[in-house]
Structure formats: structure tokens, C-alpha cells
Structure 1
Amino acid sequence: MERTISRSSSRLSHLKSIMKLHDNHSAETTSMETTMVASPGLSYLMEVYVGTPPVKQMMYVDMGSSVSWIQCLPCEDCFHQALPIFNPYASASSQMLLDYEHECMLLEDNRDLTKSNGVCNYALTFGGNSYTHGVLFKETYTLGPSSITHVALGCGHNNFGIVEEQCTGIIGLGDSPLSFIGQTDDFLHGRFTYCLVSDQFGSNPDARTSKISFGHSPEGTISTSLWKMQYKPNYYIILKSIIIGDTVIQMRGGQTAKFMLDTGSTLSYFPSYAYHKLVFALRQKIGKRALNVRNELCYEINTSIPIITLQFEDGAELDLSKKNTFIIYDENKVCLAIKRDNALSILGNRAQIDFSIGIDIHRRMVSFDPTDCSTHVMP
């Protein structure tokens, strides 16, 4: 795509004129809903159809990403994916962005200034050594029966780091102007609700699909404040203490800790001080010898695990059961799905399964409603 565009400015102008789709964002579009699928790698993929005609994409749900992207032809270096790689030239609604356009400016440090072919080149890194390089373009997104035009996303020609063949890219749901949430704010109002199906426990452990909806005002039995870190797209909740039975574990010095909600991380991460006290309390409450597994807290699979309650700064409490705090590693054992990390505290996707979780950016609120997410299968 980049090579073709760079041949001449007249060629570029011609492409833009034939690929531009009139902006028909619908004022009455107030909600959208689509399917999420639990992948074998303990991550979640969102079903999105891109282009005209719509082409199916399965994109990692990333609440900490500011930009969405998919793999595109021509591929200079792409990871293997099961679905056909998207061809922007086969879509009547593809519109490549120029390097001076507003959406390109929103990339900021993620612009790839090493190329000077007139289009908006980007270079994104994610998850350490993983990356995607390509061109920013606008396309039509179709979620369920509804479509939204002129949504900017990356068209990745050089991509590395994703190993699951079901995945075709990443859908950025972070709180930022260029994310899917930011671009649709005028009519979806910064609101979305998701339900992560359990792939190990629950009423239907074979269930793989659940739903994510946008635009509805989220409602839940448990609500707490969302905290925003300046210049960061992530969503944070503020934890005051951890309760196990009659044991109350305060954060160090009686302070609070900011936990990032992360659908892309399987495990949760607690500050070392709280983590060690949590492990000690669990051993005491479980009352049986742990299995001999190095650097892990593991028990036989049928072991009764106590409820771990997270108490937030505003007094709201969230009860986490065995399926939220332990992972089945083989037929015989479960291990604690919480690690220690003093740099970043995270509430990972294991801790979020079987809750209907609603995010309302404008009200700065997040709600949790205990739910059997396996019953939320899309028709």
C-alpha cells in the first residue's frame, strides 16, 4: 500500500477521491453490540467487520490501547492469521489519511517520520518487543446490525508479536481521542459494557462467546470511581484494602493503590506488600498444605478457596471467587492468578470474568454486576 501510494502525488489524490465515502454518521446511532470470543491464549477477541463490503476481523480487546489496527495487504512481514488479510483496495470505503490530517496529528510520537511518501505512516509498539508499522486510514466499522463510517485505524504492513492465528489485530478501547471509544464519543458517549466468559469454571466451561456493547448507560450492583492518569488511556480503580474472612489487608501505610483494569493481562498484579500478606492470609484460611510448585501458590483442584473482597476507596466492595483468583493449570491443580509487581498494579481478565462490567467515561464510573457471562451468547 505504501509503495503504491508513493509513486506520485497525482496517484495519491486520485486514490483519495475514489475511495472517500460520504460521512453518514447517524445521529440516532446510540448503541452497538457485537461478540467477544475467549481465545486459547486466555485473551479476548472482538468480532468487527471492516470495509465495504464488510470483511470479518477478530481483534484483541485492549483497554489500554490508543489506536486500533489490523493486518493489511500488501504484507511486508505479517504474522500468520486464520482469516484472510484485509485488502484496502477491495473496499469501497477505504480512505488513506495524509500526513497533515487531524487524525495523523493525534498519533503524536507514534508517527513514523522516516517515510516521506505523503501519507500518514505510523509505528506502534505493544507488549515489549511486539510492533506494527503501517499506514493510518479511515474505514467503515460494522458491529452487529450497525455501521459507523470514517473510523481511523492502522493498516499494518509490517507486524510482529501476535502468535494466535485467530487474531487479526487490536481494537483500542482506551480513553483517548484516536481509540474506537474516543472517535465514537459523539454518539456512543464514552460508554461500553463487557462480560468476560469463563473458560475454566462456571455453568458452561465450554462457552467461548459473550458480548460487548457500546452506548448503553451501564448499570451494576457495585459501582466505584474511575481514575484517569494524565496522558494515559488506561482505566484505573482505587483500592483501599483486601479482605479475606476477618483479615483486612491495608495498602502500605494505610494509603490507597491505583489498579488498572486490563482485559489483555490474564493475571492480576498487586504491590509486594499487599501480595505477601494476601498469600499468608490465603494459606491460613485454606488450612491445608500447598503443592510443591516453585514460585507459585498451588493446591489440588478440588480445594475450597475463600472469597477475596476488594474494598475500594469509596467503600464499594467486590467479591472475587475461586474462578477469579485461581487458574486451572492441569487436571490436578489450581494456582493463584495474582503476582507481585511494585511498578504497576493490575486487575487482569481472570479477576473480571463473570461480571458485567460497565465503563462510563463521562461520569468517571465503573460498575460490576455478578453475571453468568456464558448466558450472554450472541444469537
Structure 2
Amino acid sequence: MATCLLPLLLFLSFSISAFGLQNFHVVDIHSLMSSDVCSSSKDSKSRLRVVDRYGPCSTLSSRQNISPEQILSNDQSRVNYIQSRVAALSGQANNSDPLASSKIPAQYGGSYGVGNYIVQVGFGTPSKTLTLVFDTGSEVTWIQCEPCQYCYMQLDPIFDPSQSTTFANVSCNSIPCNAVSFGCSNSSCLYGVLYGDGSYTIGYYAEDTLTLNPDVIEKFRFGCGQDNEGLFGEIAGLLALGPANDSFVLQTSDKYHRIFSYCLPGVSSSTGYLKFGTDSYLPNTKRTPIPANLRSGQYYYFLNMTGLSVAGESLKIQSKVFPKAGTIIDSGTVITRLPPDAYKALRSTFRKHMKQYKMAPSFSLFDTCYDFTGLDIITIPSVGIQFLNDVSLDLDPNGILYAIGNSQACLAFASNRKRTDLGIFGNVQQRTFNVMYDVWNGEIGFSPDAC
């Protein structure tokens, strides 16, 4: 199929450029859909291989037991939680919001969600390979541990601390314990994380050797969960890449200088990567600053979104729209959330350029959907996102349309309810970019076509 279409795609691409329509993408409709066959990333030297937990590259046996409706519903739960949490931190919370006002003896986490990507790392000595979700919106790395009071079923054998010669509990009177603890037991530090969807993990805060081929991190601190309940699927735990508390990024700052990057594959049948340290820089990286007043002491990575474009046309959006709400970048949120005024401008212009295609009914978060039944090739307008420092990202087609079936796809953005709701740059729009976090210098960078 792909071989037969190649000459046609090349011809169409030439024709579009010749007629001055270079701000459009000619797309094989099948390329928006995930294949049943896993294809490898173009970057074979990556430190950790990243795959969609529900795609054919995943080793999780339950990877197909999820629907687009469930993904988007859980995504909205995560967004609600993040927005409530940030509002609470800024003093804008609605006191009637139970998430904003609840008091629990545990670290908060975002809604766990399902639109996440997984990596495999090693814990203990000798090293035991475990499959973890990685999340830039989390502060505490944790895994399930024996002996379990309650452990859900996971793919890998549950980690047994008694089998590791380098395992130790973190003491109650230590500084790291103060960052995560809600109590002590037998002089050992206890941790707990409650997620916005009701999932939670509770256990001992511990340290052991963490192996990231080929690197070895000694005395890495993590939660050794012995009571873990909720929507975790078959993963063994979570690798926390947030900017606060005792996350992986802060613990490994001497080695990796608080620098990491990832590339999320365009479709779930492809692979990406997760890198740490100076290898995260690519020559063509465009950098935008993390706001100076939000570089430390926060739970999320903020950036300054400044505008949107469709088919090369800058949308008329008032300059105060994006600063009023604020924006974070989040690896765990699936769909980008925009201020209502910005989304309306995007939707209106996108529809104008797609009027030759049959519209389909709204679907979950999406109100701009199309029925491409009987078509192999479609032409869609480019969509660009602008950030401070003249950083402009031309999104991959898989970051513009979100497939919801064999022949239907929707504009892959959603509107916030209120103008003051936090904006979120989600992982669908980050696909195929090398997304570089230089936390030490307060920058986030983007390089296109990295995986």
C-alpha cells in the first residue's frame, strides 16, 4: 500500500508547492491509524526506549483493553485535577471543589490517566527489569514491593527488597523524608501518593540502585509501595520527572545536570526514546524559557504560549488570552487544552480549510470531526503553536488529527471551560518532537522529526 502510494504522494506534494500551498500536509489516511506491527525508532542509540502502553510495541498484555472514549474521559479527569491543583496553589481555587480543598496525609499526584508512555528500567542488585510509566507531572517515583498488603496484577514480577543487596529504608529524620513523608513506622519513612482519579500508592520510602542502561544510579530514592489500588493497569510503577520535591530530575542533578528529553512516537505502533543529560540537545533545538518565577517550588513545567497559526495564517487572538490562563507542558495529558477564545479561532479557521470533507458527529472532547470513508489521501492545513522567543512548532499531522476509528478523525485540541483555566500542551501535539527540558537553565526546547 505505502509503496504504491509513494509516487502519488510525491506528485501531490510537488503540485501543492507549485500552487503556493506549502502550508498544507498531504496525508495518507492510513498513516493516522496505528498498525498492528511495531516499527523501531530511527534513533537506535537512545538510552531508554519509549512506547505507547496500549500499542503493539508494548509488552503489556492488556494493551488493547481501552477505547478512545475511555482515554479521553480519563484525560479530562487528569486535566480537571491539574487545573484544580494549580488554582489552589495560586489562591484561585473554588472552595466547593473537593480536589482543591481536600486534606489528605499524602503527596498529591495528577490523575493517573491512560494516555501515558512506558519505559523499562532496572531496580536493585542484582538488577530486576520493571516497566514504568514516565510522567513530567509527578514528583515521587514508586514501584510495587513485597510484602504486599494489597498489590494489583502487574506484568513484571513484583520487586522483592529482600533479594537486593543494596536496598535500604530512608530514615524518618532525613531531609528527603521531609519532602514526601506523611509519617513513620519503626523509624522508617512512609510515603503516600493519592491521584485525582482515586488511585493511590502507600508504603515505605526507600533507596536502591537504579539501572538505566548503561548508567547506574546508586542510592536512588523511591516509594516502595505495599498498598496500591486504582487504575494502574499492568505497569510496575512510575518514574517521576516533575520539577519539585525528590523527583528523578532533582536526585540525579549531579550526573545529568537536570537535563532530559524525550520523543513520543507519531503513532502507537512506533517507538520513541527518553534521554538524560547533554545528549538531550539536538543541533536544531528551538528554546523557550520557563517563566523565572515558576522555575522552582512548582509541580509542573510552565511555558509561555503566545499564538497559533493555521495554514501559515496567524490567528487573531488577543495578546492577553494566553497569559491570563497560563500554560504548562505535560507528558501525561493527551489532548492540548486551549483558552476558549484561542480554541474558537483555531476551530473556525481549521474548518474553513477542511470544508471539502464530510463532517462527522462530535466525539467526547472533540467538536470538529470528519468522516474520510472511501478516501486514501487527504490534504489538511498545517497547524503551528508559538511560544516566547519566536519559537514556532509546525505540528506533525498526527498532532493535528486524532483518529477515533478506521475512517474518522477529529481536530486534536479541546477548549477549556473558562478563560482563567490553565492551558496544557498535551502529548499528542508533542509527537515526533525531541522535547528537551533544561531545568537548571530554565528552558524547554523542541526539535522536529526526531523519532
TM norm structure 1:
0.82
- Quote the residue 2:74 is aligned against: none
- In the superposition, relative to structure 1, how do residues 138 and 251 fare at CA in structure 2: closer, same or farther (>3 Å)? farther
- Quote the residue 1:238 is aligned against: 304
Q: Helix, strand or coil for the counterpart of 1:181?
A: helix
Are the equivalent residues in 1 in contact too, given 2:170–2:207 (CA < 8 A)? yes
Q: 1:136 aligns with which of 205, 208, 214?
A: 205
Q: Helix, strand or coil for the counterpart of 2:50?
A: strand
- In the superposition, relative to structure 1, how do residues 336 and 272 fare at CA in structure 2: closer, same or farther (>3 Å)? same
Q: Which amino acid aligns with 2:49?
A: T
C-alpha deviation, 1:98, in angstroms: 1.7
Matches within 5 A, 1:62-211: 62-107=135-180, 111-113=181-183, 116-165=185-234, 167-199=235-267, 206-207=269-270, 209-211=271-273
Structure 1 outlier segments of 4+, above 6 Å: none
- In the superposition, relative to structure 1, how do residues 272 and 52 fare at CA in structure 2: closer, same or farther (>3 Å)? same
Are the equivalent residues in 1 in contact too, given 2:295–2:442 (CA < 8 A)? no
Matched residues, number: 332
- Quote the residue 1:34 is aligned against: 48
- Quote the residue 2:431 is aligned against: 353
- In the superposition, relative to structure 1, how do residues 151 and 316 fare at CA in structure 2: closer, same or farther (>3 Å)? same
Are the equivalent residues in 2 in contact too, given 1:80–1:163 (CA < 8 A)? no
- In the superposition, relative to structure 1, how do residues 249 and 83 fare at CA in structure 2: closer, same or farther (>3 Å)? farther
Once the two structures are superposed, residues 302-332 of structure 1 have per-residue CA deviations (whole angstroms, 9 ceiling, x without a partner) of 5432111111122211111321122111101
Cα separation, 2, equivalents of 1:51 and 1:306 = 50
C-alpha deviation, 1:199, in angstroms: 1.9
Comparing 223-232 and 167-176, the one that deviates more: 223-232
Cα separation, 2, equivalents of 1:247 and 1:88 = 56
- Quote the residue 2:390 is aligned against: 315
Cα separation, 2, equivalents of 1:241 and 1:32 = 32
Matches within 5 A, 1:219-234: 219=282, 220-227=284-291, 228=294, 231-234=297-300
Q: Does 1:43 align with 2:116?
A: yes
Cα separation, 1, equivalents of 2:306 and 2:367 = 25
C-alpha deviation, 1:163, in angstroms: 3.7
Q: Which amino acid aligns with 1:214?
A: F
Cα separation, 1, equivalents of 2:404 and 2:229 = 27
C-alpha deviation, 1:116, in angstroms: 4.1
Cα separation, 1, equivalents of 2:397 and 2:188 = 50
Q: Helix, strand or coil for the counterpart of 1:148?
A: strand
Are the equivalent residues in 2 in contact too, given 1:243–1:249 (CA < 8 A)? no
Cα separation, 2, equivalents of 1:127 and 1:89 = 32
Cα separation, 2, equivalents of 1:193 and 1:253 = 30
- In the superposition, relative to structure 1, how do residues 127 and 254 fare at CA in structure 2: closer, same or farther (>3 Å)? closer
Q: Helix, strand or coil for the counterpart of 2:239?
A: strand
Are the equivalent residues in 2 in contact too, given 1:305–1:321 (CA < 8 A)? no
Are the equivalent residues in 1 in contact too, given 2:322–2:339 (CA < 8 A)? no
Are the equivalent residues in 2 in contact too, given 1:64–1:174 (CA < 8 A)? yes
Equivalent pairs: percent with the same residue? 28
- Quote the residue 1:270 is aligned against: 338
Are the equivalent residues in 1 in contact too, given 2:396–2:432 (CA < 8 A)? no
C-alpha deviation, 1:337, in angstroms: 2.1
Q: Helix, strand or coil for the counterpart of 2:157?
A: coil
Q: Helix, strand or coil for the counterpart of 1:120?
A: strand
Unaligned 5+ runs, structure 2: 1-44, 55-113
Q: Helix, strand or coil for the counterpart of 2:343?
A: helix
Are the equivalent residues in 1 in contact too, given 2:316–2:345 (CA < 8 A)? yes
- In the superposition, relative to structure 1, how do residues 193 and 230 fare at CA in structure 2: closer, same or farther (>3 Å)? closer
- Quote the residue 1:218 is aligned against: 281
TM norm structure 2:
0.69
C-alpha deviation, 1:164, in angstroms: 2.5
Cα separation, 2, equivalents of 1:253 and 1:360 = 27
Cα separation, 2, equivalents of 1:238 and 1:130 = 31
CA RMSD of aligned residues (A): 2.1
Cα separation, 1, equivalents of 2:241 and 2:195 = 14
Cα separation, 2, equivalents of 1:226 and 1:259 = 10
- In the superposition, relative to structure 1, how do residues 253 and 344 fare at CA in structure 2: closer, same or farther (>3 Å)? closer
Once the two structures are superposed, residues 112-171 of structure 1 have per-residue CA deviations (whole angstroms, 9 ceiling, x without a partner) of 33x543210111112431211111000101001210101100001111223421x11110
Q: Which amino acid aligns with 1:35?
A: R
- Quote the residue 1:300 is aligned against: 371
